[in-house]
Chains A and B, each alone.
Chain A
Amino acid sequence: MSFREEHELHKRRFGRNVGVALVLVSFIVIVFGLTVVKVTRGDYEPENASIQRDQ
């Protein structure tokens, strides 16, 4: 029996790691997407920014 033979346990761990990785990548995509949406809509502009632009 080789030491390299994959146990069912390793498959479970691998699946779990892939799952966590996908969740983290999705979180990054969501935060990035929300940031783009909020910045382009001007949600984070200071309150007097539009007044300054008009002047």
Chain B
Amino acid sequence: MSDASIHTQASHGEAEFGDYFALLKPRVMSLVVFTAAVGLLAAPGSVHPFVAFCAILFIAVGGGASGALNMWYDADIDRLMKRTQGRPIPAGKVTEGEALAVGVALSGFSVVMLGLAANWVAAGLLAFTIFFYAVIYTMWLKRWTPQNIVIGGAAGAFPPMIGWAVVTGGISIESVLMFTLTFMWTPPHFWALCLFMKSDYKDAGVPMLHVTHGRRVTRNHILVYTLLLAVVAIGMAFTGVGGPIYLTTAVILNGLFVAGAISIWRRDEKISEADGYKRERAFFALSLLYLFLHFGAILAEATLAPYGIGGW
């Protein structure tokens, strides 16, 4: 082996710090940070600002750890899908063993540190979230049932509950409703993406709803879940975390979201293909705004409550 060959081999296999960070799915982490922070700030009571900062950091690290475990287990299908080929393992920057080590180490670290910083109810919920995403969703549901997104969405819905538990040390109807909001939002959000990201899941053999049951059924499902979501989202306005700001936001956004779902439901593949899935793309973009503004409104209610503006 010559010096040249050593250099070439090493430069391809040597990961940068950013490659390990990419294992934690930073974009998903940003959603986790935001919803956990809203859950924490909307909860009755308070914690020391530094404890709150650390708690959100550990929740984010725990979410990232489950992302690393997901990348470790799904490396085989990530290599097949265009959307995921640039991830650190399929790109050859990080080995599968390294991803597993990062995932396991950060899982343990985040749960123990959250328990020590806040309380063990919050830590237990974080541990369950990691288990749910890595084992129930990634290892079991994702490759087995077209309802993978529906049940797996629970993993992404736990952070506001954990944030709430950091302050209260428990679970309540408000935190369960915040969980339900994200849980019910996930299926229409992902199925809309699936409609215009056609071939990816099919190539990897992942039984997404549109692959197993067709696009017509997926459109029907989007409408049904959007209607159920609207009931949950507007109903939450009348709980402890709701108020006039939240109610106004929820009514407007759910009106737009239901209108978008009806429009997707009324279209067929020919019309969608003709305009490059314009409505489906718009619905997906709206879904991102939808979740952000709902949690933003909850945050606004909590922040303005001391001034007599937020809440009922």
* Residues in chain A within 8 A of chain B (CB atoms): 7-9, 12-13, 15-16, 18-20, 30, 33-34, 37, 41
Q: List 12 A-B contacts (CB under 8 A).
A: A7-B11, A9-B7, A9-B11, A12-B14, A15-B16, A16-B17, A19-B18, A19-B21, A33-B54, A34-B51, A34-B54, A34-B117
The secondary structure that dominates the A interface is helix
**Which among B10, B17, B50 is the interface contact of A37 at CB below 8 angstroms?**
B50
Beta-carbon nearest neighbor of B109 in chain A: A27
Residues of A within 8 A of B197 (CB): none
B11→A8 contact, CB < 8 A: yes
Contact with A along B203-242 (1 / 0, CB 8 A): 0000000000000000000000000000000000000000
Nearest 3 pairs between A and B by C-beta?
A19-B17, A16-B17, A9-B11
Query: What is the interface of chain B, defined by CB distance below 8 A to chain A?
Result: 7, 10-11, 14-18, 20-21, 48, 50-51, 54, 57, 116-117
Shortest beta-carbon distance from A42 to chain B in Å: 12
Are B14 and A37 closer than 8 Å at their CB atoms?
A: no
Q: A34-B54, A37-B48 are in contact. Are A18 and B117 (CB under 8 A)?
A: no
A18 CA / B48 CA spacing, docked (Å): 31
Chain A residue with Cβ nearest B10: A9
| Smallest Cβ-Cβ distance to B51: which chain A residue | A37
Are B50 and A34 in touch, CB under 8 angstroms?
yes
A30 to chain B: which residues have CB within 8 Å?
54, 57
Write the nearest CB–CB distance from A32 to chain B, whole angstroms: 11
- Given A9-B7, A34-B116, also A20-B17 (CB < 8 A): yes
Which B residues are CB-close (under 8 A) to A20?
17
For the complex, what is the distance from the CA of A7 to the CA of B116, rounded to whole Å?
Answer: 43
Q: In the bound complex, do residue B14 and residue A15 qualify as a contact, i.e. CB atoms below 8 Å apart?
A: no
Residues of A within 8 A of B10 (CB): 9
**Docked CA distance A18–B20 (Å):** 13
Q: Are A9 and B14 in contact (CB under 8 A)?
A: yes
Q: In the complex the two chains form, what is the Cα distance from A5 to B51 in whole Å?
A: 46
What B residues does A18 contact at CB under 8 A? 17
In the complex, the chain A residue whose C-beta lies closest to that of B117 is A34
In angstroms, how far is the closest chain A Cβ from the Cβ of B167?
15
A16 and B7 CA atoms in complex are apart in Å by 18
Instruction: Give CA–CA (A16, B20) in the complex, Å.
Output: 9
Q: How far is the CB of B46 from chain A (nearest CB, A)?
A: 12
Question: For residue A34, which residues in chain B have a CB less than 8 angstroms away from its CB?
Answer: 50-51, 54, 116-117
- Add 19 more A-B contacts to A18-B17, A19-B17 (CB < 8 A): A7-B7, A7-B11, A9-B7, A9-B10, A9-B14, A12-B14, A13-B14, A15-B17, A15-B18, A16-B15, A19-B18, A20-B17, A30-B54, A30-B57, A33-B54, A34-B51, A37-B48, A37-B51, A41-B48
Task: Decide if A12 touches B50 in the complex (CB within 8 Å).
Answer: no
